[in-house]
Structure 1
Amino acid sequence: MARIRTLAAAVVVALGATLLPQGVPEPAAAAIGGITWQDEFNAPAGTPVDQGRWRFDIGGGGWGNNERQYYTSSTANAVHDGQGNLVITARRENPANYQCHYGRCEYTSARLLTAATFTQAYGRFEARIKIPRGQGIWPAFWMLGNDMGSVGWPAAGEIDIMENVGKEPNTVYGTIHGPGYSGGAGITGSRTLARPLADDFHTYRVDWEPNSIVWYLDGVEYHRVDPSRLGGNRWVFDHPFFMILNVAVGGNWPGYPDATTQFPQQMLVDYVRVSAHVSDGGGTRLRGAHSGRCIDIPNANPVDGAGLQIWDCNDTAAQSWTFAADGTVRAMGKCMDPAWAGTANGTEVNLVTCNGNPAQRFTLTGAGDLVNLSANRCVDVREWNPNNGGRLHLWDCTGGANQKWSRA
């Protein structure tokens, strides 16, 4: 069920679906900015791939998974159709000059990547795709860390935005791989529709923030991961990644084409778009929507265990919060922290020495929810108290104004 990929090879695995538990409140969407990269594939029919945006992986070495295709740069395998789509075509053919690790290749296809043209850390990565179908057909839209050449796989990290295997025509998979959670231990989720995915175009996306990646099919979330899911292993999704589009034929996970598989098979890509992640920059006040007051360290005294409160907004260091790259929220040299790493409703939100515990990771979503990632609960003003001194705790995310925060 796993495949191994490096820059020419990596690993993907399909496990059972890992969905959000029933009844667990979901944080709101990520803070997403403007488009930073896109390809709309609007060139005339027969136009080759824009190599200012995409380059090709070429070869037939099995790609770490005993795949049967030879990837080419030919317009027979990747070309614009003149109707606003990129078409990646898998064909049954075995020309003598296409040698695979097991002998002469049986199929050709294409694998496009942006490693030499575009990388980005964080943001929204989305494509609208009509996938191919059939036993042994394996389309994918995915990403690898840009440090593959220096640290290798899985230390560079892998984010699989969309994968489908033809023997499961109605199911999309989303997965991450990293050190200690690769191959069969990859962290995956899935969503299954009533109709085969190949019947229609669908949008496949991830929203990626520091310490959070969320998968969507047609705008509906179906999988979410953060460092608390890694069992103490290292989170490696904190640096730029590049994108890959490909259609594989055969392999350890999908199996191989059989008498039912028809060729050629085509994947149509309407667009690929990347949007920025909105970062906070330097220190900022966090103003409550209900009270109009700001998150504050009492008496500007950064003692461990100080219970955070709301107070009239001011320009002191006690209200100057920084969202650090490790997912912590810091002021006066210390970190916002749920008391005793608690995850339950009512857990006090305190100030504590930064210690690397995943419990200290928070994210401020685009909808204004300040979410503790370990608890999957929101920073909330206790008892809707709008007055100076109102204390903070964790509570199920309800969308209420006493849980809404903005940078002020």
Structure 2
Amino acid sequence: MGADRGADAGEIAVTAGGHKVYGIWISPGVGYRYTGVASGVAVNGQPEGAYMVASGTHVGSDCCFDYGNAESTPADTGNGHMDAVSIATTCYFAPCTGSGPWVEADLENGMFQGDNGSNTANRGNNSPFVTAVLKNDGQTKYALKGGNSQTGALTTWWDGGLPTRGGYKPMHQEGGIILGTGGDNSNWNRGTFFEGVMVAGYPSDAAENAVQANIVSVGYAGRTDVPNGPQGTVTGPGGKCVDVAADDTGVNGAAVQLWDCQTWAEDQHWQHNADGSLSTIGRCLDIEGNGTANGAKVELWDCNGVGGQKWVQQADGSLRNPQSGRCLDSPSGATANGTRLQIWDCNGTAAQKFSVNGGAPVAAPGGKCLDVAADDSGGNGSAVQLWDCQSYAVDQHWYHNADGSLRSLGRCLDINGNGTANGTQVELWDCNGAGGQNWQQRTDGSLFNPQSGRCLDSPDGATANGTRLRIWDCNGSAAQRFTLS
């Protein structure tokens, strides 16, 4: 347990009714709490109800991704002092059916699915968006319901007596409010929260059914298990990801290491900034003590613009620090989880292959995005095309370098054969500084290639998925609107 920190407001975006909306991305250390007794919130056995819409794919089994009534101070004050709804893979009372996640009731000192905890009728729901419902009369009974927030009705998983273990009949709620933590402020779990309500009284089934119908009508859409935005992973030796030690806490001096890639790990998503820095969870990849010697370790530190925080992707796949003239390196080419990274003389070996997949989408004709064919593989010669925008697609995140190149998956947007003729197709290729890899944003929204004097173009203004892109005489048409974020 520790002090809570707020979520990154732009960490997770989905759509509702076709409009972009943001959720709250909860990772270890993130949480919200109202300390004290909130006005209108149930206390000492009063009835209440709550629901939330949360991710069924960004989930964990640690304590606790809760929303609802909790202790008025961050301490476990005993059974029945909480009344919060949770969605997690926590099987607190075995047996459980399947692998979850399950909608559960955190009533303090237990994640309950039935009267004594276990309830094999609760089969869980792993939909991208899950409606989780809890109501409690505070005296003898409670109910748990859940459903897919995108379609269908609620399923009742429990409607019966409160736990028979001591302290729950009646309840002893204290009227605090939590989101993303447990009653004692345990903040080690993860989840994604989109909306929620707490109400006084014991809601009717009809009211809950109406709420679910309204949620479905909103039309939630999108992927909820990965953070989005301008960040991308930095893939290193052995296919591991550049990671910050200690699960998304990211204090100054935190070790930067290799670890298995985890789509939900906030501290594995890095933004390559215009000043050359690489940042995650609010801090920058930094060389200890702004050092320049072989073997100097790298860490996370407040972004401060020093030379030890500048990183330039090289054509051979390495990340070079200009101040030291050395490259990010895994000692002796190690690939084990927890391998602490360092700088070392640039040598082009596998120990120094770190591919920055950061950047941001390039908006293209027809509301599509600039995309690389073949789902994030990105070999030399891969077609560059139009495709539906996908926040999780690494090959739709492009970084505009100071030399004018546009990079994704460690390679550059390239004109085939360094050509200059109308109709020459574009592709992905090793970054090499050639004129066919220089792209300048113009005020009319076009991307201009100075060497050819032509612009990136969608043939005949096509907007279908898979449309292969080319260069063509600049004409200011919609077919040439490619806007850098």
Same fold at TM > 0.5: no
Structure label with greater radius of gyration: 2
Tell me: higher relative CO, structure 1 or 2? Use CA pairs within 8 A at least 6 residues apart. 1
Name the structure with the higher strand share: 1
The TM-score normalised by the length of structure 1 is 0.30
